[in-house]
Amino acid sequence: MRAIIAGGTGFIGRELVRELREHDWEILILSRNPGKVAAVFENGGVIGMPWDNGDWPDVLGPDTAIVNLAGENIAGGRWTRKRKRRILQSRVKAGERILQAVEQAGVAPGVLIQASAVGYYGPRGTTPVDEYAESGSGFLADVCRQWEASTAVLETIGTRRCIIRTGMVLGHGGALPRMLPPFKYYLGGPPGTGLQGVSWIHLKDEVRAIRFLMENPEASGPYNLCAPNPVNFAKFAHVLGTVLGRPYKTPVPPFALRLLFGQMADEVLLSGQLVLPERLTQAGFEFTFPDLSDALRDVLR
């Protein structure tokens, strides 16, 4: 079993590599800086290869899985026009490069795991949604639609394709570490009203779910990679404060968030979704951390 991972040195990618190595997968990571791959994975067993190298299509075949996690960090800074263009183009171009490699190889990979996000559904208020819901409105929803579409043509040549719409991933990276400082200084609380939904998943369940979809020959189409118990932000702040032994009732005013983050505040912090992993649980996946308190205690212990 061979996995080719785009975005393998990122927050989720590193943990996925660890998960796959423990289950005897051969791993090749596509990177603009292959030297970084060697530095990140010091124990060996992982091959780094440039995106534009003409050799990696040669390893494509029915026994090959491609995991496309590549893309600019959505929360990496204020959404200027330039940054929004980079966020979109980094995702679409990664899909285009994968299609070019498959065309060059003349052989379809067995499976493609295509990253996406719960932002696909747009702001949803307090109404839960599953994979059967339509896409929503806003910048993130538009990015997710184009992101998912970037590799859709592979399905027409026989590749099994799974789309993973991921929520907030809880681990030593991503959004969680940025939330901790206010709580540590006794100023923790939800952004705005706190009524907006938070669809979350423990990092370990995230990579277990990806491997589950890679290895399950019946799996295809969209899957929400979120724990089965989403909460609103007020509840999230409550649980996080309790785990940290800190207060959790100091809300952050919307105007302050908009001043700091602009459009990103409205689409990421002040709105949300209560997303359910309906198709993932129907397929037989079992979560190690279905409860938010247990997940946060494991990450922060």
pLDDT in tens, 235-244: 999 999 999 9
Please report the pLDDT score of residue 1 as a whole number: 85
Pairing mode, strands 2-6 and 26-31: parallel
Per-residue pLDDT, 261: 87
Question: Burial code of 178-211, b = ≥16 C-beta within 10 A, e = fewer?
Answer: eeeebbeeeebbbbbebebbbbbbbbbbbbbbbb
Tens digit of pLDDT for each residue in 30-59?
988 877 887 888 766 798 888 876 678 888
Q: State residue 108's pLDDT score.
A: 92
Which amino acid makes up residue 185? Y
The three-state (H, E, C) secondary structure of 245-270, written as one string:
CCCCCCCECHHHHHHHHCHHHHHHHC
Q: Which two tokens stand for residue 130?
A: 């599953």
- The strand pairing partners of 115, in sequence order, are 164
Cβ-based burial of 126 (10 A; exposed 0-12, middle 13-18, buried ≥19): exposed
Can you give the pLDDT at residue 54?
64
Burial class of residue 3, CB neighbours in 10 A (0-12, 13-18, 19+): buried
What pLDDT is stored for residue 40 in this prediction? 83
The answer on pLDDT for 88 being more than 90 is yes
Q: What percent of the chain has pLDDT over 90?
A: 79
- Which is more confidently placed, 178 or 297? 297
Q: pLDDT category, 268, cuts 50, 70, 90? A: confident
Residue 101 contacts residue 60 (beta carbons within 8 Å): yes
Structure tokens at 96: 């285009």
**Residue located via tokens 């910048």:** 139
Which pLDDT score, from 0 to 100, does residue 125 have? 84
| DSSP 8-state code for residue 127 | -
* Longest CA–CA separation in the chain, Å: 58
- Is the pTM higher than 0.85? yes
Phi-psi region of 44 (alpha: psi -120 to 50; beta: other; left: phi over 0): left
3-state secondary structure of 48: strand
Q: 103-143, pLDDT tens digit by residue?
A: 988 999 999 999 999 999 999 988 999 999 999 999 999 99
What was the pLDDT predicted at 53? 65
Say what the pLDDT of residue 196 is: 95
For residue range 3-26, list pLDDT tens digits in order: 999 999 999 999 999 999 999 999
Q: What is the mean pLDDT of the chain?
A: 93
Q: Average pLDDT in the 155-170 region?
A: 97
Alpha-carbon distance of 82 to 34, in angstroms, equals 27
**How crowded is residue 262: how many other Cβ atoms within 10 Å of its Cβ?**
13
Paired sense of beta strands 197-198 and 231-232, if any: antiparallel
- Read off the pLDDT band of 152 (50, 70, 90): very high
Per-residue pLDDT of 172-190, as tens digits, reads 999 999 899 999 999 999 9
